[in-house]
Amino acid sequence: MNKPAVLGLLLGAAIGGVYIALQRTELRRKDATIQPRGVWSLVPGAVGRLAFTMVAWWLAFQFTDADKYWLTGSLAVSYSLPLVWQLKQMVFPKR
């Protein structure tokens, strides 16, 4: 692999990893507290995390020589894999 591809993989994984870490922290905090206003109280945090992801992705596009396809692919995998794993555990719980 060449340097731009490796840089794209690393940056995509880092951006996706930070997003997932923030998402899981928010889910744990939500489970620990009672939400009197329901799901709408979670919207500002979700919008903030998505804005962070898009700004970090754009900055990586503009100011690095990372391969754009590897960056996007790595971000998509690192962004979605933990959520798919969590969905799998919800649909097929251990007995």
pLDDT, tens digit (0-9, with 9 covering 90-100), for 24-45: 888 787 766 665 666 677 778 8
pLDDT at 13: 93
Residue among 45, 55, 53, 52 nearest 25 (CA)? 45
- CA distances to 19, 27, 43, 48, 50 from 40, rounded to whole Å, are 20, 14, 5, 14, 16
The predicted-structure confidence for 78-89, as pLDDT tens digits, reads as follows: 888 888 888 888
pLDDT at 82: 83
- The average confidence (pLDDT) of the chain is 85
DSSP string, 39-81: GGGGHHHHHHHHHHHHHHHHHHHHHS---HHHHHHHHHHHHHH
C-alpha 11: how far from chain center: 12
Tally of domains in the chain = 1
**Domain encompassing residue 87:** 3-91
pLDDT at 38: 67
